Structure 1
Amino acid sequence: MGGDKYVIAGGGASGLLLAYRLAKDSFFDNHQILLIEKEKKNENDRTWCFWEDNQNEFEHLLSKTWNQFHISNSNGFSCLPTNPYSYKMLRSKAFYQHIHSFLKTKPNVEMIHDTVVSINDKETIVEVQLSNQIIEADKAFTSIIDSQEIKNTTTPLLYQHFIGWFIKTEQPVFDEEVATFMDFSVPQKGNTRFMYALPVSNNEALIEYTLFSEDLLSDNEYNDAIKAYLEEQEITNYTIIEKEKGCIPMTTHNFYKKNTKNVLHIGTTGGFTKPSTGFTFKNSQEKSFLIAEALKHGNVDVSKLFKQDRFTKYDTILLELLAKENHKGAEIFSTMFEHNSAPSILKFLDEKTSTVEELSIINSLPKTPFLKALIRSFKQVV
């Protein structure tokens, strides 16, 4: 073909989004794109949620969109409008099928199922070692997570861990126009615990028990909490259609340090996950655009594409606080939404705010615990 060869290791959201972005741009028609997936992905193994103030290119794949959500705690709940933002749910099966179908139409794209053993930047070429062959490429992009790297980080490390039930009730019991973003009315038990409830119709919803904490629970503990929550809501006649389980690292570890001129880490292992929320999909989508644009400028040094900024510091302070005083999460997040509009918080979490807007939000939060966390964070090696 005459152009460069790009290897994308990992066929999750970030890998597929990058492959889709490159394949969709005619600039890369004479470049080779090789997507390596360990296993074929064609099931609902993920549910991605995100907010935005415009139409998404995957709008036709969405399961549901909401323009208001609940924030609840032991003192009651608030129903908050999110305009101009919409909160959106995308199931992975529809996403996988759409991306795979499109990639199959592109003659410059090849998809193979194999295990990536190693990726080595040799300065003039990248060697990708598979289970029984070595592939050479000009650039490689990998979303393969190194769990030891995360465990050995010197920055605060929590996990967003959860089990969710997709349920269907016999009678209409849900307000399908309102998503429950965080319900802290559940027993906190010394942690940051909340229920996440996303109704896709008046009798179908995803009910998810989520924690921001250091230690995971047994499956029975998550399941029992969901069961108790449904009973509290007087929802008893239901069928569990599907279950999902996840664990997302929440850390401001500098993932960018391991990137080289020709090898870029993407997705969670590339620092695309928002440390304080665990949201990854929209960040991966936005960064795939930036990567594609950078590659158009020739032999770009991909290690220079992304770096940490002031939002990293904000996230470090919050994680430092929750690592030492995990029980304060409900108070912090409830206060944040109580004293600020939902759109301003969503804009802040999207890292699109000005410093003036950020200071206004920070000023609305409890001062003492954040000041202590700030002092401790100066000692962190970021």
Structure 2
Amino acid sequence: MQHYHYIFTGSGLSALMTVYEMMLSGKFNDKTMLLIDENPKKSNDRTWCFWDQNHLFEDIVSKKWPQATFSNEKFTRVLELTPYEYKKIDGLAFYEMVFKMISEHKNIHFLNQKVVDFTELGDHCVVKTAVGNFTCNKVFNSIYNPKEVTSQSKYPLIHQHFIGWFIKSKEAVFTPNCATFMDFSVELKNNTRFMYVLPTSTTEALLEYTLFSKNLLSKEEYEAEIQNYITRLGITEYEIIEKESGNIPMTSFPFWKNNSKNIVQIGSAGGWTKASTGYTFKNAVKKSKALVQFLKTESDFVKFHKKDKFWFYDLLLLDILNSKNHLGPTIFSSMFKAGSSEVVFKFLDEETSLWEDLQVIWRCPKMPFIRALLNRILP
């Protein structure tokens, strides 16, 4: 069996981001690496959006928005995002950037196959594929196993699920420099439901009907709501250029407990998705940097974890969304209705001080969080 220092089971965002950081560090040029994925990463299968003030991956950002609106049935607020900008990166652009760098490193290889299994055997690991087996010192696993979360009830699982249409309309109804972050003026149906809009011109935009809830909908229901929203915007004629859909797990499940000395869970499989929002890109950047820094001095992946206050904040919100999903619009509206939006984005990026945390928390309705807290700390 061929041996590698590191094998990545899966080559999605988290794996490629970690390899990218390893290449940038220059500390792993003497280590052989193998990425294994049945998806060749040659199509634009997803987009990532994030708020940023540090020119992150500026060369492959396809669109920026200096403003965003937040709406519900009672108010609409235009958020001036300065010093942040809301940015979009297309999946294919990121894949091409990383794989171009990989092609310049003879120690890094890609295998377009499905991972069948992997296991730790003493001081090494074995990874099995349909075409053969490989051994390695360390495994970075990003293959998410939903049964692990759905088979328990201590940590709720909320889905961020959506269908999106990228349309070109006859009427010029969009504001190209202003994204719609959350529009809760849609019919809520006792759920946390909103419309998310990313305009690229006055006549072109991506419209996503999105829910944070336990149960998925039929394709027809998502698309009917998108059609209703298009009509509300005053659009009479339009062409659907592309469609996309997704289902992102939102949970505070302790994935780190699956880490062993030589196997580390990354990406959604490692809890790298921001549990309260479903955002992945910025978290993957931070976690991959931390993991690469860890590798420079440590060898036992059991030590790679740090549970912090933000994990607990997210847990309380998910407890509320799990038991009283209809409260989601009220909670998010209270955060964005007034006051600094900068501190909210900083809070969601997990970069706030305790004083700044309190500024955001104090805006939210108190009783749902108090009940959620008591349910967690009392037997």
Q: Same-fold call, TM > 0.5?
A: yes
Alignment pair present for 1:139 and 2:107: no
Partner of 1:331: 330
Aligned twin of 2:180: 180
Partner of 2:167: 167
Give yes or no for contact 1:195–1:209 (8 Å, CA) kept in 2.
yes
CA contact (8 A) 2:195 2:209 kept: yes
Q: Percent identity?
A: 43
Q: Which residue of 1 aligns with 2:206?
A: 206
SS at match of 2:27: helix
C-alpha separation in 1, matches of 2:205 and 2:273: 25
Equivalences for residues 32-181 of structure 1 within 5 A: 32-56=32-56, 58-153=57-152, 154-181=154-181
Cα pair 1:256 1:307 within 8 Å, conserved: no
The Cα shift of 1:354 comes to 0.9
- 1:159/1:215 contact within 8 Å kept: yes
Whether the aligned pair in 1 keeps the contact of 2:173 and 2:234 (CA below 8 Å) is no
2:360 pairs with 1:361? yes
Contact 1:320 1:377 in 2 (8 A): no
The residue aligned with 1:241 is 241
- 5+ long unaligned stretches in structure 2: none
User: In the aligned structure 2, how far is the partner of 1:363 from the partner of 1:81?
Assistant: 21
Distance in 1 (alpha carbons) for counterparts of 2:378 and 2:149: 19
**Using the alignment, how far apart are the partners of 1:339 and 1:92 within structure 2?**
34
Residue matched to 2:278: 278
- Match of 1:190? 190
Q: Bigger shift: 220-229 or 115-124? A: 115-124
SS across alignment from 1:166:
strand
**Distance in 1 between the 2:314 and 2:149 partners?**
16
CA contact (8 A) 1:49 1:89 kept: yes
Find the aligned partners of 2:30 and 2:4 in 1 and give their Cα distance: 8
- Whole-angstrom distance in 1 between the partners of 2:258 and 2:6: 19
The Cα shift of 1:33 comes to 1.2
Does the alignment pair 1:307 with 2:306? Answer: yes
The gaps in structure 1 that reach 5 residues or longer are: none
The answer on whether the counterparts of 1:163 and 1:243 sit within 8 Å (CA) in structure 2 is yes
- Give 2:263's aligned residue: 263
Aligned-partner Cα distance in 2 for 1:365–1:73: 16
Residue identity matched to 2:215: D
Shift of 1:213: 0.6
In 2, the alpha carbon distance for the partners of 1:157 and 1:172 equals 39
8 Å Cα contact 2:158/2:322 also seen in 1: yes
After TM superposition, give the deviation of residue 379 of structure 1 in Å: 5.8
Task: Give the deviation of 1:370 after TM superposition.
Answer: 1.6
- Match of 1:303, SS state, is helix
Deviations 1:105-156 (A, max 9, x none): 2111110111212221223111112224221111110100111112123212
1:252 positional shift: 0.6
**Which residue of structure 2 aligns with residue 377 of structure 1?**
376
| CA distance in 2 between partners of 1:111 and 1:233 (Å) | 46
Mapped contact 1:35–1:110 kept (Cα < 8 A): yes
Aligned to 1:23: 23
**1:254–1:308 Cα contact (<8 Å) kept:** no
Give the AA of the match of 1:246.
Answer: G
Q: What SS does the corresponding residue of 1:361 show, helix, strand or coil?
A: helix
TM superposition shift of 1:41: 1.5
Query: Do the aligned partners of 2:165 and 2:244 also contact (CA within 8 Å) in 1?
Result: yes
Moved more, 214-223 or 89-98: 89-98
- The answer on whether the counterparts of 2:291 and 2:304 sit within 8 Å (CA) in structure 1 is yes
Tell me the equivalent position of 2:253. 253
Structure 1 Cα separation of the partners of residues 89 and 214 of structure 2? 27
Q: Is the 8 A contact 2:173 2:233 kept in 1?
A: no
Residue type of the alignment partner of 1:339 = A
Structure 1 residues 228 and 251: CA distance shift in structure 2, 3 A: same
Q: CA deviation at 1:65?
A: 0.8
Q: Secondary structure of the residue that 1:346 maps to in structure 2?
A: helix
Matched, 1:352 2:354: no
Q: Would you say the 8 A contact 1:49–1:87 is kept in 2?
A: yes
SS in 2 for 1:138: strand
CA distance in 2, matches of 1:274, 1:28: 28
Q: Equivalents in 1 of 2:15, 2:283: separation in Å? A: 13
Q: Deviations over 1:18-48 (max 9, x none)?
A: 1222223322111111111112111121111
Find the aligned partners of 1:118 and 1:378 in 2 and give their Cα distance. Answer: 38
Q: Deviations over 1:253-276 (max 9, x none)?
A: 001000011111100110101110
Provide the C-alpha distance between the structure 1 equivalents of 2:12 and 2:92, rounded to a whole number of angstroms: 11
- C-alpha distance in 1, partners of 2:105/2:148? 36
Aligned counterparts of 1:218 and 1:378: Cα–Cα separation in 2:
37
Report the equivalent of 1:340. Answer: 339
State the secondary structure of the residue aligned to 1:351.
coil
